[in-house]
């Protein structure tokens, strides 16, 4: 029962985090939403019994990508331009 | 811009219909989940990986032993990426 | 660059040894538990990125040069290829140490068991080589990006 609930809840949260990351105007918030999506995706990999991929996803996607994106935001602009 | 929206809508409908069709019982009748078509290589690795390589983690024995060339290509990709980043950004880093 | 607060610095100094030890554990036990060279290297590089974010790129760049990291990565790659050449008498990537009485040569019994650390033949050595390579490579990327963007606009000229 617990397994089925997690199988339904975690992908929905992943997709919600991805949609939120697209709609943010503040790029720093979008980066944090992307990190949350990556962490939820690694949890989904763990539920599907692929712990190797889960560790790689959590290390690279949730930490290093976030650090690199934050450094590049610091060098450019924080807010996205209006059209 | 209007035609681009139409193309995106058609692509979305096609992709969504394929994804919904893949979870329907009809698709499971054609090819059931968890029963691959060619399981010979999987069965060989699962039965022989511990005796042949001595590693309990069969994934590591596949990645570094049975499919070592794949890991060599991955290492080459990482090396090329690091070399490119350092080559481009060294000018800005050390002025 | 803006100075980060004392809370961030203290928490990062406390967390960094634990993250590093966990990453090295994942690398060294790659042939027994889930994980391996790439995963453990990514975890250790994440800990180093934490230090770069907390203490600023200038304080880290005084201690570590990216030329040293580049050298370390080349050593890891050459070690991986030369370990693949050890079993060249049979084929490339042949696990010639498994089954011998030498280092890492023990064979565990068939079935699910905790296993021995001294087993797996060439796999732990390859894990170490790939782990060194991934730590140095990813940390070099983060460090040089942090140094290049330490001023607003990225250009220091």
Share of chain A above pLDDT 90, in %: 60
Please, are residues C119 and C104 in contact by the beta-carbon 8 Å criterion? yes
Which among A55, A70, A72 has the least Cβ separation from residue C34? A55
Burial class (CB in 10 A: 0-12, 13-18, 19+), A65: middle
* Interface contact flag, C148 B93, Cβ < 8 Å: yes
Tell me how far CA of residue C102 lies from CA of B65, C113, C118, in angstroms: 18, 22, 10
Please, are residues B86 and C70 in contact by the beta-carbon 8 Å criterion? yes
Q: Mean of the pLDDT values across residues B61-89?
A: 90
Residue C34 with chain B: CB contacts under 8 Å: 57, 59
Q: Which of A35-39, C6-10, C90-94 has the lowest mean pLDDT?
A: C90-94
Q: What is the ipTM of this complex?
A: 0.85
Q: Where along chain C do its domains lie?
A: 6-148
Burial class (CB in 10 A: 0-12, 13-18, 19+), C115: buried
Residue C152: the pLDDT is 56
pLDDT of B42 higher than 90: no
Q: Which of B20-24, C20-24, C37-41 has the lowest mean pLDDT?
A: B20-24
Q: Where along chain B do its domains lie?
A: 1-30, 37-94
B42's CB contacts (< 8 A; 6+ apart) are: B36
* Interface contact flag, C42 A59, Cβ < 8 Å: yes
Q: Neighbouring chains of B at 3+ CB pairs within 8 Å? A: C
Mean pLDDT score across all residues of chain C: 86
Tokens of C55: 């203490």
């Amino acid at each position: 029962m617990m397994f089925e609930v997690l199988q339904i809840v975690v992908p929905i949260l992943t997709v919600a985090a991805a949609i939120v990351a697209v709609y943010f105007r503040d790029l720093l918030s979008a980066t944090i939403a992307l990190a949350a999506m990556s962490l939820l995706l690694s949890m989904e990999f763990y539920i599907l019994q692929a712990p190797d991929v889960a560790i790689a996803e959590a290390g690279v996607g949730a930490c290093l990508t976030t650090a690199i994106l934050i450094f590049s935001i610091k060098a450019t602009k924080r807010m996205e331009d209006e059209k | 811009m209007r035609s681009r929206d139409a193309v995106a809508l058609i692509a979305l409908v096609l992709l969504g219909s394929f994804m919904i069709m893949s979870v329907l019982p009809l698709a499971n009748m054609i090819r059931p989940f968890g029963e691959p078509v060619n399981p010979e290589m999987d069965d060989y690795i699962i039965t022989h990986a511990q005796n042949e390589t001595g590693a309990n983690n069969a994934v590591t024995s596949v990645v570094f032993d049975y499919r070592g060339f794949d890991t060599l290509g991955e290492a080459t990709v990482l090396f090329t990426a690091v070399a490119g980043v350092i080559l481009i950004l060294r000018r800005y880093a050390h002025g | 660059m803006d100075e980060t607060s004392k809370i961030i610095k203290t928490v990062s100094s406390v967390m960094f040894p634990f993250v590093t030890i966990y990453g090295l554990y994942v690398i060294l036990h790659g042939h027994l538990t889930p994980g391996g060279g790439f995963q453990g290297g990514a975890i250790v590089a994440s800990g180093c990125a934490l230090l770069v974010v907390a203490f600023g790129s200038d304080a880290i760049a005084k201690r570590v040069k990216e030329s040293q990291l580049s050298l370390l990565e080349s050593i890891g790659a050459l070690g991986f290829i030369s370990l693949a050449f050890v079993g060249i008498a049979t084929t490339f990537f042949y696990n010639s140490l498994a089954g011998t009485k030498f280092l890492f040569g023990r064979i565990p019994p068939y079935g699910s068991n905790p296993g021995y650390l001294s087993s797996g033949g060439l796999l732990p050595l390859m894990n170490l080589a790939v782990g060194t390579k991934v730590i140095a490579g990813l940390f070099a990327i983060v460090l040089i990006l942090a140094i290049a963007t330490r001023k607003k606009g990225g250009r220091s000229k």
